[in-house]
Structure 1
Amino acid sequence: MISLMVGEIAKALGSLNDTSKWDDVEITAVGFDTRKMVSGSLFVPLIGENDGHKFIQNAIDNGAKAALWSAPLEDAPADFPVILVEDTLLALQELAQYYLKKVAPKVVGITGSNGKTTTKDMTDAVMSSRYRVYKTQGNFNNQIGLPITILSMPVDTEVVILEMGMSDKGEIEVLSHIAEPDIAIITMIGESHIEFLGSRANIADAKMEITSGMKEQSLLIYPGEEELLEERAEFLKGIQLKTFGTKESNDIYPLQITNQMRETSFITNLAPSIEVKIPVLGTYNVNNALAALTAGMALDIPIAESFESLAQFQLTKNRTEWDEGINGSMILNDSYNANPTAMKLVIENFSQLESNGKKYVVLGDMLELGDLSEELHVSVKEALDPAKVDEVYLYGAEMKALQEALLNEGRFSQESIHYFIGDKQPLIEEIKQKLKENDYILIKSSFGTDLLSVVEALKLG
């Protein structure tokens, strides 16, 4: 819980009004949604589709003790502490910077086209073995969410882990200048948001913005096999670099990987005598673990200790998790996010699993791919092997191109490729009729495609 006085906040923000009569009012939380306001909150009325100033009474009724204010002062509630600023969003960000400097934790920033949340969870596990850690909750990773995350961390936080998301260029630069990361991790460069950015090269530029707020001798951790990042890292001045990946050219890499249904085991070059186990599937998750291990070593956490922490880490819900399905089947639920690179990786790892039953793959539309959508959906065919996958179910308008490509290629029979659009119930009913004991089913799509509803329909109970 934070503890800031109104007078302290007003001074930090250069308040445009006199708040002295309320200087000793204590603020213990900061929020912008009046429905989630708690007692002791500072209300931040943001201006978007709605003007948050209109909801000030709701905020007061729900426990707000003060508010930032950028509307005319005469519109403020009588005898209630308001701190007058020019822009409430900018003031929220400035307050986050102030509080971050006051608490002075080590800051770990994480971005990437895929794997941000898993890497955040792994880094949290590693850091928590030695430090008091606070991390981004849910999807609070944008220009509003990141400041709220910072302002939610307890005053005794020693390491704060901040996920940094984006939809367009310039957004991560703002987040980096707010947070000034001591350690930054880029997980991968995929195709998410290519609709807005135009190319993977532009996405790489946007992700590299995470370095814009970093001071000298800060550390950037990134996948060394990603040429787009390697090219850009060469131009960084005063920032230390560490790479991870599957090849020996990286600072940390696996010597051996063993995939099982509920865990992945690997050995690294840094400790060849110790096997590491992570409770998730996939070589791509080994890369996430390598990034977390590198961050831990930067803060002097022994690697053997980090191995033990990784074995126990808790994955955020709907990130490549196994659920018990109907009729004794098992569902690999990865329905929260998707881009072509990530989709191919999870299909390849799923395909390698040994099973006494059949293996089904259900894929839904990937969003925000713009003019390249058809081409990128078709590219997923590279990961689909008829010798390792029994049947493929495709859902959504964009998946039509993949269906046609698979059928035209002739590797899959017409009976093993199924296509659905619109109502999901026929898709659910057909799969229900197929699933038997020991069958595995992978469900992967962008969250907006809502294949999570298919997961829920096929889960046991």
Structure 2
Amino acid sequence: MISLTVKEIATAVGALNDTNKWSDKEIISVDFDTRKLVKASLFVPLIGNNDGHNFILKAIENGAGASLWNKSLKELPLEVENDFPVIQVKDTLKALQDLAKFYLAKVDPKVVGITGSNGKTTTKDMTDAVLSSKYRVHKTQGNFNNHIGLPITILEMPIDTEVVILEMGMSRAGEIKTLSELAKPDVAIITMIGESHIEFFGSRAGIADAKMEICSGLKDNGVLIYPGEEPLLQERVAGLVNKQLKTFGSSSKNDLYPLAIDAQMNQTSFTTNKNPDLTINLPVLGKYNVNNALAALMAGMVLGVPIEKSAPELAKFQLTKNRTEWLNGLNNSSILNDAYNANPTAMKAVLDNFSTFKNKGKKMAILGDMLELGNQTSELHLSIKDSLNPTQIEKVILYGEKMNVLYEALKETFDENNLFYFVGDKEPLIQFVKKQIEPGDYVLVKSSLGTDLLSVVRAIQI
């Protein structure tokens, strides 16, 4: 719960009308969704596919204690009585962001900003576990990581928050810059540079430029934590002024790196150069998650949390749903659900790990289209071929028009009885998979969210 008065809100957003009548009225939450409003909420009517201004009566009915308004006050419904606080502004979205800046300054927590092509959410969850061993922490929930979600995250922050962890997503250049300048991080983390949204940036170099925008709002003497073995970032950090740099990665050239890694089906263990005698356990699979953990541990070290204190918390951190989770499948099978998002780097990393697992049945990979890859779509789908070995993954089932190029290439290495391809309606795919699953099988499902292989996951889990 937050605590703001109407006077504070009016000042923060530059109210165009006189709100003195309601100056001392307390507001305890902020939202743009009338369904989520509680008593004494501030309603923020945004204009998108629908105009939020049309829902002000529903907002009041659901408990709103005040509302922003970027239209003429004469356009207020007659039913809105004179004793209901309406704060007129030029732009409700900008007002939301300005209010978030004001509230952030009022609470004055340390701010950790996280971006990257892969691993943002997992690193956020790990960083939360690390820092919660010492601080009262608030973090981004779900996918609230854009120009609307990030200010809402800030405005959901309890007044006694000591550290706020803000995930920053993007699909276009300039978006991370806006978020960073709003949040003004003390610590910024770039998890990695991959191919997500490459359609809009043209190259990994363009993506690197966009991810580096997180430094736009990084405070003077703030700390950038980044993968030290990424050449594209090495080139770009050289131009930073008044910033501290900390690196993580697999080699000893980094400030923090692993000495040994043991990846199992349900957990991954590793040791680091900072404490070679301390084994750190992660309740998730995948060597690639070690890098996410290293970034989180480094954030902890920067903010005064030693690895010895944070390691036990990492061992029990909670991963956001649909991120590489094991589910019980039909006919005593096990499903590795990673169908929330996908790009070539992430898909190859998951396949490489999945290939090493030992099980009593067969391993089956159900892979769907990866989206927003632009003119590199065919090339990048084809690049998955090297991570599919028929001696390690017995059956491959591909779905979507973009997967056709990989299907044709895999005909060279996979027997026709172990390679299958579907497009269009998913029901034939679902029925086929149900017939293929046998006791002891491991089934990986991986695709971009827009491909909707989550519907396949739901159909084959129990």
Flag whether TM exceeds 0.5 (same fold): yes
The aligned counterpart of 1:70 is: 70
Runs of 4+ aligned residues of structure 1 deviating over 3 Å after TM superposition are none
TM-superposed CA distance for 1:156, in Å, is 0.3
Distance (Å, rounded) in 1 between the aligned partners of 2:234 and 2:394: 38
Amino acid at match of 2:2: I
Q: What secondary structure, in the 3-state scheme, does the structure 1 residue paired with 2:275 have? A: coil
Q: Could you list the per-position Cα deviations for residues 2-54 of structure 1 after superposition, in whole angstroms to 9, with x for gaps in the alignment?
A: 01000111122221111000111110010111122211111111122322112
The aligned counterpart of 1:458 is: 460
Q: Could you list the per-position Cα deviations for residues 276-325 of structure 1 after superposition, in whole angstroms to 9, with x for gaps in the alignment?
A: 11000101101000000000001111211111111010111100000011
The aligned counterpart of 2:400 is: 396
2:171 pairs with 167, 171, 175, which one? 167
2:329 pairs with 325, 346, 366, which one? 325
The aligned counterpart of 2:105 is: 101
Q: Could you list the per-position Cα deviations for residues 395-432 of structure 1 after superposition, in whole angstroms to 9, with x for gaps in the alignment?
A: 0111111101111xx22222211101112122222222
1:434 pairs with 411, 433, 436, which one? 436
Unaligned runs of 5+ in 2: none
Map 1:15-414 onto structure 2 (within 5 A): 15-76=15-76, 77-79=80-82, 80-407=84-411, 410-414=412-416
Distance (Å, rounded) in 2 between the aligned partners of 1:85 and 1:276: 51
Distance (Å, rounded) in 2 between the aligned partners of 1:215 and 1:109: 11
TM-superposed CA distance for 1:55, in Å, is 1.3
CA contact (8 A) 1:361 1:392 kept: yes
TM-superposed CA distance for 1:118, in Å, is 0.5
Amino acid at match of 1:286: V
CA contact (8 A) 1:336 1:447 kept: yes
Distance (Å, rounded) in 2 between the aligned partners of 1:14 and 1:91: 8
Distance (Å, rounded) in 2 between the aligned partners of 1:92 and 1:425: 43
Q: Please say if 1:7 is aligned against 2:11.
A: no
The aligned counterpart of 2:419 is: 417
Distance (Å, rounded) in 2 between the aligned partners of 1:182 and 1:437: 50
Aligned length: 458
Amino acid at match of 2:178: V
Amino acid at match of 2:233: L
Q: What secondary structure, in the 3-state scheme, does the structure 2 residue paired with 1:273 have? A: strand
CA contact (8 A) 1:184 1:211 kept: yes
TM-superposed CA distance for 1:390, in Å, is 0.5
Distance (Å, rounded) in 1 between the aligned partners of 2:158 and 2:7: 20
Amino acid at match of 1:43: F
CA contact (8 A) 1:259 1:353 kept: no
Distance (Å, rounded) in 2 between the aligned partners of 1:197 and 1:334: 25
TM-superposed CA distance for 1:441, in Å, is 0.9
Unaligned runs of 5+ in 1: none
Distance (Å, rounded) in 2 between the aligned partners of 1:66 and 1:359: 56
Amino acid at match of 1:47: I
CA contact (8 A) 1:140 1:149 kept: yes
Distance (Å, rounded) in 2 between the aligned partners of 1:93 and 1:6: 16
TM-superposed CA distance for 1:354, in Å, is 1.6
Distance (Å, rounded) in 1 between the aligned partners of 2:48 and 2:358: 51
Q: What secondary structure, in the 3-state scheme, does the structure 1 residue paired with 2:397 have? A: strand
Q: Please say if 1:449 is aligned against 2:451.
A: yes
Q: Could you list the per-position Cα deviations for residues 65-112 of structure 1 after superposition, in whole angstroms to 9, with x for gaps in the alignment?
A: 111111012223341211111111111101000000000000010111
Amino acid at match of 1:135: K
TM-superposed CA distance for 1:356, in Å, is 2.1
Q: What secondary structure, in the 3-state scheme, does the structure 2 residue paired with 1:379 have? A: helix
Amino acid at match of 1:22: W
Q: CA RMSD in A?
A: 1.0
Identity of aligned residues (%): 65
Amino acid at match of 2:455: S
Distance (Å, rounded) in 2 between the aligned partners of 1:6 and 1:382: 59
Q: What secondary structure, in the 3-state scheme, does the structure 1 residue paired with 2:96 have? A: helix
Amino acid at match of 2:321: K
Distance (Å, rounded) in 1 between the aligned partners of 2:405 and 2:435: 26
TM-superposed CA distance for 1:170, in Å, is 0.3
Distance (Å, rounded) in 1 between the aligned partners of 2:109 and 2:47: 31
Which deviates the most, 430-439 or 338-347? Answer: 430-439
Distance (Å, rounded) in 2 between the aligned partners of 1:313 and 1:49: 37
Distance (Å, rounded) in 2 between the aligned partners of 1:215 and 1:455: 43
Which deviates the most, 52-61 or 289-298? Answer: 52-61
Distance (Å, rounded) in 2 between the aligned partners of 1:263 and 1:290: 15
Distance (Å, rounded) in 1 between the aligned partners of 2:338 and 2:25: 46
Which deviates the most, 448-457 or 75-84? Answer: 75-84
